[in-house]
Chain A
Amino acid sequence: MVRQQAFYMPWFANLESSEHLTDHERLLTFTRDAGPLGHEPGQFLQVSVLGVGEAPLSVCSAPREQAFQVCVTDKGHVSHALHKLGPGDKVGMRGPYGQGFPVGRFAGGDVLLVAGGVGMAPLRCLLGSLLSRREDYGRIILVYGARNPGCLLFKKDLDAWGRSGEVEVHCIVDHADDTWTGPEGVVTDPLADLELDPENTRVAMVGPPAVFRFAGAALLERGISGNDIYLSLERRFQCGIGKCGHCQLNDLYICRDGPVFSWSFLKNRPEATELGQ
């Protein structure tokens, strides 16, 4: 029998740095001996801390860079263990897995990125990919909503993107504080004010189900086709290859068939964005 890929066996990456992003998030930077990761924007890794377990994390650095990065929220056993690691530690990886954003379809038009909370992480990867061929796209607009100013990820990048003039950056927070000079509200607020060319705009959205529901509905109302709105869904993947069953969304296995889908494709699949009661 032909020996096939040993899916469940991790390979090891070198942790180069662990950087404080917010009170709950750290940015981990890795290299591996085999060279760049070779991922597409929207793909994820199964990251292992041996003895603790494995967690799915999306890659948040641009493709083709020598190092790759993941943003880790301290929320469970594995993420907590990842937060404690430091430079020089070896971290188990499987992947990258999944179908990413169809970047080829974005060329030639405007691109609107809608991020809610930690959904900014995979979109940073997509944005990096778009900026590496900036001339291929029209406007690039980022609308990013976070709970409060302290929760905003990648503040340095947000500043740099805004200053460069290459990206129109709109950040909004649910609850402002004294440091905040931007608007207060939800992610659909800036969407309502944006001038958009609906025929010529592709959307990439990552966030909690509520963002999908409200922002999705708002964009459809603005005349953007469901075929041009892409969402990246999150589930607790265990295998990453469509076998373990944890990521089933009606008839789909999100890890294998997604995690990126078009709005139209998910339209008649209620488990996509509806958290049950």
Chain B
Amino acid sequence: MPGTIGPKKTWEVSFAGMEGLLTSLLNSGVTVYAPVERKDRLGRYLFARLSHPARMAWNYTTTSLPPKKLFAPPEETLFTFETGKGEPLVKEVCPTEPFVLFGVHPCDLAALDRLDAFYADSPAEYRWQAQRSRATVVGLDCTPDEHCFCVDMGTMETRHPADLFLTPLEQGWLVQTYTDKGEEFLNNTPRERARESAIEEAAKRTGEKRKKAAGRLKGSVEQIAAALSRSDEEFWEKYSAACFSCGSCNLVCPTCHCFCMEDRLDVSLSSGSRIRKWDSCQLAGFAKVAGGGDFRPSASSRMRHRWKHKFVYLPRRFGTAFCVGCGRCTRSCPGGVDMVSVANKLLETFGERVE
């Protein structure tokens, strides 16, 4: 999982040039998903099919749902079936048409990178890989808000797996391409090789971001993992007291990937489909087994599991935390459980004293 890799090429594109690119992209008929402001809740954003270049929210803070939804939707059909005499007829459903995912922030790129690794791990999940290969991913630099802790999670400068990445400058865009697909994407767009001054301006912007959002976590990811391993029942009971076990944190998390499967029967009772949909380890009953036993019956046991899964268990397999510091779980929690405060409390209570 390369975190930061150098771009193939670095370009400057004017504001008008970028507008033109988006316009001609939409005119070409290709599907573009991009951050747009929610009509139901102004000031909130979501990745939606872009209908007009003017709807693109260039300065969005974060989206309600992460971009994983475009590769593993909240609900998707795995196959349809028809039963009758003889062997049932089953037909796999797997969309194939290409699309562009435009305007993905570094934390969400880091999350896609982690999910790519998770699904590629043996046995590799061909559905995720097929969906990912459909997309051209265009990254976009961001401005962290008060809930972001990407700097501390080391994801603020993530570029992989973007095909190209856009950073706003005073005058136009700095565009870095990372793949051939990213380079081709610019084929018909007027561009200049980036000047040294433009690259410096982008670097300065990154430095300011770092200054603004650094130091929110009072310890490293490794220290959080170590504190988690020492954490006790009492701690989780205390901090899960505010948890409603609603599962919002799972749904908005860009790296959560648990799902369940379900059959849907048509009114004919002879045909239907098998779907899979997002599931949540925070819901009561997630770890129930046949016969009624439940391996995580309390909110505290479920909350501890979620934390350990992200900071201890998955890092053991993939070498990196499955939290990217996007802050969505904190923003969406109706009980006010704050990821950063809980992490800092963990460090304070179970961290090793640094002399």
Contacts and interface: CB of A to CB of B under 8 A. Distances in A.
Interface of A: 1, 3-10, 12, 48, 50-55, 73, 75-76, 79, 90, 92, 208-209, 234-236, 238-239, 241-246, 248-251, 256, 271, 274-277
Given A251-B313, A276-B297, A243 B287 contact: no
Contacts of A50: 81, 83, 88, 90, 263, 272, 274
Nearest to A236: B289
8 contacts: A8-B79, A8-B276, A54-B274, A236-B289, A244-B260, A251-B308, A275-B293, A276-B296
B87 A245 contact: no
Secondary structure at the B interface, as helix, strand, loop or mixed, is mixed
Contacts of A245: 257-259, 279, 281
A88 B129 CA distance: 37
B130 A275 contact: no
A1 to B, nearest CB: 6
A234 B290 contact: yes
Contacts of A238: 259-261
Given A53-B262, A275-B295, A246 B290 contact: no
Given A8-B274, A50-B83, A245-B257, 10 more contacts: A1-B133, A4-B126, A51-B272, A235-B295, A239-B259, A244-B279, A245-B279, A245-B281, A251-B316, A276-B297
Secondary structure at the A interface, as helix, strand, loop or mixed, is loop
Given A8-B79, A238-B261, A246-B260, A73 B87 contact: no
A1 B290 contact: no
4 shortest interchain CB distances as A-B pairs: A245-B258, A251-B313, A4-B126, A51-B265
B83 A51 contact: yes
A153 to B, nearest CB: 15
A92 B129 CA distance: 25
Contacts of A10: 90
A276 B294 contact: yes
B192 interface: no
B290 A75 contact: yes
B291 A6 contact: no
Interface in B66-101: 78-79, 81, 83, 86-88, 90, 92
A271 B296 CA distance: 8
B226 to A, nearest CB: 15
B260 A243 contact: no
Of B281, B287, B301, B309, which is in contact with the most chain A CB atoms at under 10 Å from its CB? B287
A93 to B, nearest CB: 12
B2 interface: no
Contact of A275 (B124, B125, B294, B308): B294
Contacts of A55: 290
A120 to B, nearest CB: 15
B288 interface: yes
B119 interface: yes
A3 B133 CA distance: 12
Contacts of B258: 244-246
Nearest to B260: A238
Contacts of A239: 259, 261
Nearest to A12: B87
A92 B298 CA distance: 35
Given A1-B130, A277-B298, A90 B87 contact: yes
B256 to A, nearest CB: 9
Contact of B90 (A3, A9, A275): A9
A9 B261 contact: no
